[in-house]
Structures are given as C-alpha cells and as structure tokens.
Chains A and B, each alone.
Chain A
C-alpha cells in the first residue's frame, strides 16, 4: 500500500501557524530589534544618573544587555501569542465586513475562496495588532520595573550591583509575567 502524501490546505497551514508559538523571520527581527533598544535604555540611566563609567563597566553592560534582550523578546513572543487569538475574535466582524465588501462583486470567486481570504486577512490583522501591542505593553512594564528597582528598591547598593540586579529582575519578571495566560 502506497502512502499518500497529503498536501496541507491553506486553511490547515493557517491553523498550524495560528496555534504555533513560532514567529516569522520578520517578526523575530522586529522583536529582537525592539528588545535591544529597550534593553539599552538602562545603560544611559546608569551612566548619566548613577554615574557609572561606561568604559570600566563596558563588559558588564554588554552581558546584561544581551541577557535582557533575550528575555524581553521572549516576553514579546509569549504576550503576542496570547493576545493574537483574542484580537482575532474581537476584529473578526470588522475584517469580514471589509473583505466581503471588496470581493462582493467578484462572481468567479467561490464561497470557500472568500472564507479563506477572510481567514487570511483576519490572521494578518491579528498578527500585526498583537505584535505591536505586545511590544508596547512589555516596554511599558519593563521601564516601570527598571525605575522602581533602580531608584527605590536597590538605591542604597553600589551602582554595579544595582545595575545587574535591576536589569536581571526587570527582564526576569517580564519573562515570568508573560507566561501567564490571562
């Protein structure tokens, strides 16, 4: 009995993509780029406000920025995944209306094709909105945690220790909170 190789339909592909936590290369580049910028913000804070010398603490800055970049992009991915489905449900009606308006006059397109197009557009809108909102939400939370940690909780410590613990705790907590499904 010969095995039949079944090609996935467009719908199945979209569903797989939907339920996967993997992001596209473009999204990945966007996440890492943004997380690098956000992780670099505490460098300026500790250099100018806490008076840390950037040349002496260069290696420390590089290591902690790298760790923070990874954890923040991890948080972006998680929050995006959780939000995407919720956004898709919220935007479904509007997207359906918009796509139907565009394809209403096209008599050659079958209902199945129209449904596929609606599904694809809904996925695209949800993906984009979830990506941007995830970046916005995580950036806001990261900055709050960094400011609270460095100026209040750890203010009496040596600046180097303050920097390591602030960045580690802020990015760590961000990654932890992002694993919540609520």
Chain B
C-alpha cells in the first residue's frame, strides 16, 4: 500500500511539469528598438525605452517577461503578440553616456534572480533568455555660449568700430 502511494506520487510529479502553464521560450530570435533621451535642455530626466519583438523556436506565444534594469526587476509590458516594452528614467547625471545591458528573463529566471537576491547576491549568475544592449550617447545640454551673448558681442564690436571712426572724425 505504501509502495503504491509512493509510485503514484512519483508519477504525478513526473507528469506535473507537462500540465503546468509555465511558458518558456526556447531559441529566441529578438529584434529590438531603442530610444534614449538626446537633449537635456528640454527635459528634466533621461528616459530609456526598449521595444523587443521575440519569436521563439518552440512557437511559445504566451510569454511573461521581466527585465533587469539597473539591478531592479521590472515586468515588461506586452504591446502586441510577441512584442514587449520596457522603459525607465532617472536624472541625467545618473544615466551617463555608455552601453547598458538589459537582461530579459522569463518567469523561471525571474524567480531564480529573486531567490539569489534574497540570499544576498546580485543575481548575475542567472542566465537570461536574451540581453539587449542599449547604447546611450549622452544628452546635449545646450551650447557652451548662449546665442544672444554672441549676438550682443558682435553688435558691440561693430558699434565700437563705428564709435572709434566717429571719434577720429570729430577730433
């Protein structure tokens, strides 16, 4: 009796993974579109937007993705079938120019990262489904010298030349 119970339990455990609805993407083909803030004079913070289109070799469509953004795990918003979007923002100086690697995980990977972080590590040992490299060329803060200052200097220079000529004529 005890032996039959044990066999039944093992059989259920063996079949259970097949009955679960956990979706895993095998061999993902990823196309990404990235936007980063380029001008700081008209905005108060730098924004990163990453759009990915994922096609799985196993035909998986019901994906649930999470992205590791600067050490924080955020869910990726689904914007269409197989299309996901992640965005984040921060002050200009906290997001300088450079390449930012955004790791994408499925549900399993997300749980693994969370488990590692709870045990004190940063979760970097967990392998993501795919990684998107975001190249940020920095933000333009405006010209070093304001244009009205340049215009004022040129106008003053021309007037000064005229004033000198006038002084010479009046002497």
Interfacial residues, chain A to chain B (CB-CB below 8 A): 82-83, 86-87, 90, 133, 136-137, 140-141, 143-144, 147-148, 151-152, 182
Contacts and interface: CB of A to CB of B under 8 A. Distances in A.
Given A140-B158, A152-B148, 17 more contacts: A82-B170, A83-B170, A86-B169, A86-B170, A87-B169, A90-B169, A133-B166, A137-B166, A141-B159, A143-B155, A143-B158, A144-B156, A144-B159, A147-B148, A147-B155, A151-B148, A151-B152
Interface of B: 148, 151-152, 155-156, 158-159, 161-163, 165-166, 169-170
The secondary-structure label for the interface of chain B is helix
A143 B163 CA distance: 14
A147 B169 contact: no
Contacts of B156: 144
Nearest to A141: B159
Nearest to B168: A90
Contacts of A83: 166, 169-170
Contact of A147 (B151, B161, B165, B170): B151
A83 B158 CA distance: 19
Contacts, number: 41
Contact of A141 (B148, B162, B170): B162
A91 to B, nearest CB: 10
Contacts of A182: 170
A133 B170 CA distance: 12
A35 B151 CA distance: 21
Nearest to A137: B162
Contacts of A136: 162
A86 B156 CA distance: 25
A144 B169 contact: no
B151 to A, nearest CB: 6
A147 B159 contact: no
Nearest to B167: A182
Contacts of A143: 155, 158-159
Contacts of A151: 148, 151-152
Contacts of B166: 83, 133, 137
B155 A144 contact: yes
A141 B158 CA distance: 9
Nearest to A155: B148
A182 B166 CA distance: 10
Contacts of B152: 144, 147-148, 151-152
14 contacts: A82-B170, A83-B169, A86-B170, A87-B169, A133-B166, A140-B155, A140-B159, A140-B161, A143-B159, A147-B148, A147-B155, A148-B152, A152-B148, A152-B152
Contacts of A82: 170
Nearest to A45: B151
Contacts of B165: 133, 137
Contacts of B170: 82-83, 86, 182
A133 B161 CA distance: 12
Contacts of B155: 140, 143-144, 147
A81 to B, nearest CB: 13
Contacts of B161: 140
A162 B133 CA distance: 50
Q: List 9 tightest A-B contacts by C-beta distance, closest first.
A: A140-B159, A151-B148, A137-B162, A140-B162, A144-B155, A144-B159, A140-B158, A86-B169, A143-B155
